[in-house]
A = this chain, B = another copy of it.
Amino acid sequence: MSGGGEWWQCPCPLESVPRVRVCDPKLLDFIREQRPIVITDSKLVESARHWDLEYMEKHMGDCKFTVYESKERVFMFSDEEKNLGNYKFTPTATKRSMTFQEFASEFREAMKSKDKFLYLQQGLNDTVGPTIVKDFVGFNWTWLTDVVKALNWGHLTTNMLFVSMPHLVTPCHYDEQENFFAQVRGTKRVILFHPDNFRCLYPYRYGHPCDRQSQVDFDNPDYERFPKFKDARGLEAILRPGDVLYIPRCWWHLVRSLDELSVSVNFWYMSPPAIAEDIRFPLTASQKVAMMRNIEQMLLTALGSAGEVSDFLRMLVSGRYDTDANHTFRQLEM
């Protein structure tokens, strides 16, 4: 169960994400190898360290923010517009739009009444008030730009602002971009899984509103439906203000805010452009995930319905690829 303040026990064995300083030469090596790392002293969001509810309420301006409201602490993201498979699905969280002032007032009320939970998740843009823009411009872009250049990444796509009540949970999912996740205020616990845990985490199908989310309920795993979940092996990071976590593309992550108000800002970047020569055998787990998504998308388009895709894939696999009997292979001659 995902209750209040007690320490949540993850059902999977966890190791720690290494923590490094910006001067550590391991930093770029880790990122190049697509391994998560916490950077402790980048001062990336130092100019936002004073962002608390009162300050943001005063300076965010009149623009509208996306706020999810739920009776539960677990906020499963879903996108009804991406329900290409026409799945029946009722989200547990309601998506609302409000000014930061409205959010702050509902936030304080909900902290007292304890009858609902609120999670603000909004891409930052230039409609926020001038003081916030100034803080934003004051981010350590110099350091970030140097790193991104050294990594040959593509462009910055979004800065998401996350403002969360204590003890809220973003369940396990993966994104398709490179992510620097910067903790501004409060503490977050992030649990990560390498993309090769795909088979252990059973994502919803492409075309489902919960696409890229694990179907496994970490608070009550159904080991019968998802037997390989017991093989999942994760990493864990505790992020305190000033910490920046690198979440490589296609790495699974589950995020839990701890005791207080939590404020985070992320930096989503496009991966470096794929160059044909970089494609080597065996493909990386993240390349396989991309291939899998392309096949699912193609089939949904070609076959016209999610039921047909399911039927087609079962026909393709059943008695043919789900067993290795009579399918032993010769050693490849090198």
Contacts and interface: CB of A to CB of B under 8 A. Distances in A.
A303 interface: yes
A332 B303 contact: no
Interface stretch (A49-57, A95-103, A161-169, A313-321): A313-321
A308 interface: yes
Interface in A146-163: none
A316 B306 CA distance: 14
Interface string A293-334: 001100000111111111011111111111111111110100
Interface stretch (A124-132, A196-204, A234-242, A260-268): A196-204
Category for how many chain A residues contact B: 35 or more
B332 A86 contact: yes
B319 A202 contact: yes
A316 B313 contact: yes
A116 interface: no
This protein's copies in its complex: 2
B321 A228 contact: no
A321 B292 CA distance: 13
Contacts of A308: 282
B318 A292 contact: no
Contacts of A319: 202, 215, 225-228
Given A87-B329, A225-B325, A310-B321, A316 B302 contact: no
A281 interface: yes
For A227, A309, A317, which residue has the most chain B Cβ atoms within 10 angstroms?
Answer: A317
Interface in A194-247: 198-199, 202-205, 208, 215, 225-228
A327 B210 CA distance: 11
A206 to B, nearest CB: 9
A285 to B, nearest CB: 10
Given A205-B321, A282-B303, A321-B309, A199 B329 contact: no
28 contacts: A86-B329, A87-B329, A88-B328, A88-B330, A199-B314, A199-B318, A205-B320, A205-B327, A215-B326, A226-B319, A228-B319, A281-B303, A281-B304, A282-B303, A282-B304, A282-B308, A283-B302, A288-B315, A292-B315, A305-B329, A306-B329, A310-B324, A310-B327, A313-B316, A313-B317, A313-B321, A314-B321, A317-B322
Which 5 pairs across A and B sit closest by C-beta, in order of nearness?
Answer: A202-B319, A281-B304, A313-B321, A199-B315, A86-B330
Interface of A: 85-88, 198-199, 202-205, 208, 215, 225-228, 281-283, 288, 291-292, 295-296, 302-310, 312-330, 332
